[in-house]
Structure 1
Amino acid sequence: MSETRTPNYAVELCLLAALATLWGASYTFIKLGIETIPPVTLIAARTIIASTVLVVILRLRGIELPRDAATWRKFAFQACLNSVIPFTLIAWAEKSVDAGLAVILNSMTPVFTFLITVLWTRHEPTPFRKMAGVIIGLSGTCVIVGMQAFQQVGQELLGQLAVVLATICYAGAAIFGRNFKGLDPMAPAAGSLISGALILIPVSLIVDQPWTLSPSIRSVGALIGLAVFSTAFAFVLYFRLIQTLGSVGATAQAYLRAPIGVAIGAYFLGERLDASAWIGLVCILIGVSLMTLPQKSPAPALKTT
């Protein structure tokens, strides 16, 4: 039997903040990367580098990836939901959308996960508190996207809708990820990234012809940071936190990530949010908090003799 160790919650909370920072920084990395690297090629390189790092970590841990075709078909489908489509959509969207706004919209993943659960899979109960969180979170998204729709219909609106679509993909990936029970959690992460790279490489070769590109040092540095820190290392932290804090505790990064990502974008890119984005941020943070924070169990009733 394996020994169950009580986690050091001070350490785990620090790791949770580190994870939120790594994922919050990814939007700034993307913004810098797409300055001279087209979105598809940027994401193809991201998946190649990140999957390589994860495979090395798995080898060091003595874990082998599955070899059966059925599992790899699942990895490929997971890759479409978790990397190929959403990574590319977000990278394309950030050509017109600020990194801070992208991280706010993308923090809606728990809300869309819950909606898919209620409307389709129905594998979890639907308490009132979570329903309230969904309504508040969706209201925040509507404030952000709706204001842009009223102002003008342009690439910025399309970019915001692309981030929302990417968020829905992430929600689907979270639910489909239940199909990998029995595997070490890092195995589907590595397998899906490898599958994503195999899908994106030929697209990049056809669409962008990467051998003709001349990326800047800043974009290459951002790509390395995005792949190594915000993808590979972030996955390692995430799967550790699932084991130590549980799935509910690990999802707390969803509402830590938004303000951290906004702050990083403001500091390094000089971005400033307008009033509707701030209102939307507050609504989304409240909504995600209601959905992810654990509910207190009622105190046991005293027995009378």
Structure 2
Amino acid sequence: MTKTEDVVLFGALAFVWGTAFTAIEIGLETLPPLLFAAARLDIAAFIFIGAVLLSRIQWLPRTKADLVLILSNGILVIGAHFAFSFIGQSYVTSGVASIVLSVSPIITPIIAIQLLTTERIYLTDVIGLGAGLAGVIAIAIAGGSFDGQLLGVGLLLASAVVFALGSVLTERWTAVLPTMSLHAWSMSTGAVFLHAAAYAYSGASFWSVTWTPSAAAALTYLGIFATAGGFLLYFTLLNRIGATNVSLINYASPVVATIFGASLLGEQITIVTVAGFGLIVIGFVLCNIRSLWRLTRSTRDTAGSVQSLKRDEVRVQGNVYKKQTDSQNHLQPGD
């Protein structure tokens, strides 16, 4: 696959994940947030399960690591992440939602340093986290009120935190299951979690809501293209260009989301929101400066490949950390 094809795949992923926020905004006009999120995963899980069965790969969890990863991915990385983000977006625009969620790669290294290694936090991490949070705060008060806008941003920030926490915790385990099977189980677990949460939160079920053509179209797009198709694109790119390069999708998709939100939904793009996004990007660069520096020093022959790790290192979303020496906490790179 050529670099041009990599760029096309990256652009496709930015498009489907960016426009997903527009689809969510449309669906939230008539659908309860948690039920909407659960239905999105229902469709994606069905597609992944079908792919697993057709490919005849191993599908049954066999180890403790498989079960732990299914639960952590399903409940934290997918379930709680979608729960907070869908409810949060019901209070803010699609552009704001996408920008606030882009703070996740800033939070991830901070959590990883605390949980995966005895290494001290670098000054750049502290400054980067501060810059990112300053950007989120600026966006939170951009609407000129401290009610719905602030609540929505707070829920979206919680979504970014649980996503980062789940991503870091999964690095403690190495699955035996193939990636496709692991994510089929994880999405199914996330769907069950969200259906239970939706019923407990508001008593929502498929039979208690009014389905409109626009809501059905938004759900279909999210389930098939943004979730199933998006994850397939993501893992293809992860193998092609590496975790650090793929992490930049967090800053390409908000641009797409903001443009489509303004064009299709009439959402306003304020100077404060743009400035907040700029602070978040600066925070990302500072928190990932060591990984980005390694990337720039890689030779052209190996550009786009995943950087090799030493035996005492682990990678989390493009960041490389030293493992703890405690044999009970032995870490290996995850999928």
User: TM-score with structure 2 length normalisation?
Assistant: 0.79
In the TM superposition, residue 123 of structure 1 has moved relative to its aligned partner by: 7.3
1:36 is matched with which residue: 9, 30, 39? Answer: 30
Q: Does residue 91 of the first structure (1) align with residue 91 of the second (2)?
A: no
Say whether the 8 Å CA contact 1:50–1:231 is kept in structure 2.
yes
Q: Which amino acid aligns with 2:188?
A: I
Say whether the 8 Å CA contact 1:117–1:123 is kept in structure 2.
no
**Alignment of structure 1 residues 76-155 onto 2, 5 Å:** 76-122=71-117, 131-147=126-142, 151-155=144-148
Structure-2 change in CA distance of 1:38 and 1:135 (3 Å):
same
How many percent of aligned residue pairs carry the same amino acid? 24
Say whether the 8 Å CA contact 1:186–1:239 is kept in structure 2.
no
In structure 1, runs of 5+ residues without a counterpart are 1-6, 300-305
Separation in structure 2 between the aligned mates of residue 124 and residue 75 of structure 1, nearest angstrom = 28
1:48 is matched with which residue: 42, 53, 69? Answer: 42
Say whether the 8 Å CA contact 2:72–2:170 is kept in structure 1.
no
Cα RMSD, aligned residues only = 2.4
Comparing 38-47 and 56-65, the one that deviates more: 56-65
Give the match for residue 4 of structure 1.
Answer: none
Structure-2 change in CA distance of 1:123 and 1:81 (3 Å):
farther
Structure-2 change in CA distance of 1:80 and 1:216 (3 Å):
same
Comparing 124-133 and 158-167, the one that deviates more: 124-133
Higher relative contact order (CA 8 A, sep 6+): 1
Give the match for residue 273 of structure 1.
Answer: 269
In the TM superposition, residue 233 of structure 1 has moved relative to its aligned partner by: 0.7
Separation in structure 2 between the aligned mates of residue 118 and residue 67 of structure 1, nearest angstrom = 29
Say whether the 8 Å CA contact 2:22–2:260 is kept in structure 1.
yes
Separation in structure 2 between the aligned mates of residue 183 and residue 39 of structure 1, nearest angstrom = 31
Separation in structure 1 between the aligned mates of residue 32 and residue 219 of structure 2, nearest angstrom = 11
Q: Which amino acid aligns with 1:106?
A: L
**Alignment of structure 1 residues 1-305 onto 2, 5 Å:** 7-68=1-62, 70=64, 71-122=66-117, 131-147=126-142, 151-178=144-171, 179-205=173-199, 207-290=203-286, 291=288, 294-295=292-293, 296-297=296-297
Greater helix share, 1 or 2?
1
Q: Which amino acid aligns with 2:51?
A: I
1:145-180 Cα offsets, whole Å, 9 max, x none, are 2555xx433122111100000011111122123224
Say whether the 8 Å CA contact 2:44–2:187 is kept in structure 1.
yes
Separation in structure 2 between the aligned mates of residue 205 and residue 198 of structure 1, nearest angstrom = 11
Q: Which amino acid aligns with 1:56?
A: G
Separation in structure 2 between the aligned mates of residue 16 and residue 38 of structure 1, nearest angstrom = 31
In the TM superposition, residue 126 of structure 1 has moved relative to its aligned partner by: 5.5
Say whether the 8 Å CA contact 2:33–2:83 is kept in structure 1.
yes
In the TM superposition, residue 118 of structure 1 has moved relative to its aligned partner by: 2.5
Q: Which amino acid aligns with 2:150?
A: L
User: TM-score with structure 1 length normalisation?
Assistant: 0.86
Comparing 269-278 and 174-183, the one that deviates more: 174-183
In the TM superposition, residue 217 of structure 1 has moved relative to its aligned partner by: 0.5
Structure-2 change in CA distance of 1:117 and 1:31 (3 Å):
same
Structure-2 change in CA distance of 1:65 and 1:124 (3 Å):
farther
Separation in structure 2 between the aligned mates of residue 288 and residue 113 of structure 1, nearest angstrom = 10
Separation in structure 2 between the aligned mates of residue 294 and residue 223 of structure 1, nearest angstrom = 36
Q: What secondary structure does 1:294 align onto?
A: helix
In structure 2, runs of 5+ residues without a counterpart are 300-335
In the TM superposition, residue 31 of structure 1 has moved relative to its aligned partner by: 0.8
Q: Which amino acid aligns with 2:278?
A: V
